[in-house]
Amino acid sequence: MKLLLDEHLDPAIAAALRREFRELDVQSVEDPGWAGLDDAALLEVLDAENRALVTRDVNSMPEHLRRRLKDGLTHAGVVLVPRSIKQTDRRTLIRELARLLKERGAEDWQCRIFWLTP
């Protein structure tokens, strides 16, 4: 399983997840230098890398995903973080991502969207 945390998520979350899941390849968008890419370009890169995106961008990301599928393209999966999880609440976000990984991490995430539910 490979994940990328979008710009709006604290890079410390990636470090915490790596401590809990030794086999998990999780990076912050700053790690590989993808910060600043527009959503369409980022989804393209992540699809090629087979890396799912974790994002708080619940407004425009679903539209980008629909457009990719409509154009016959795929994506590596997306985890949407609802506004009910505050941006500063790293503990809840880590807990909910860990729960999702334990419950669904072995599944194929290609072209799937998951919502975290606190």
pLDDT digits (tens, 9 = 90+) for 69-112: 999 999 999 999 999 999 899 999 999 999 999 999 999 999 99
pLDDT of residue 30: 83
Residues counted in the chain: 118
pTM (2 decimals)?
A: 0.93
pLDDT of residue 34: 85
Q: Does residue 5 contact residue 54 with C-beta atoms inside 8 Å?
A: yes
pLDDT of residue 49: 94
Alpha-carbon gap, residue 3 to 78, rounded angstroms = 9
Q: Does residue 34 contact residue 85 with C-beta atoms inside 8 Å?
A: no
Domains of the chain from N-terminus onward: 2-115 (3.40.50)
pLDDT of residue 118: 78
Angle between helix 11-20 and 90-104 (nearest 10): 40
pLDDT of residue 32: 75
Q: For the purposes of burial, counting CB atoms within 10 Å of the CB of 52, is it exposed (0-12), middle (13-18) or buried (19 or more)?
A: buried
**What are the tokens at 78?**
């997306």
Instruction: Read off the pLDDT of residues 20-50 as tens digits, 9 standing for 90 and up.
Output: 999 999 999 987 778 888 999 999 999 999 9
Alpha-carbon gap, residue 108 to 4, rounded angstroms = 16
pLDDT of residue 97: 97
pLDDT of residue 111: 97
| DSSP strand pairing (113-115 vs 78-80) | parallel
DSSP code, position 91: H
pLDDT of residue 35: 84
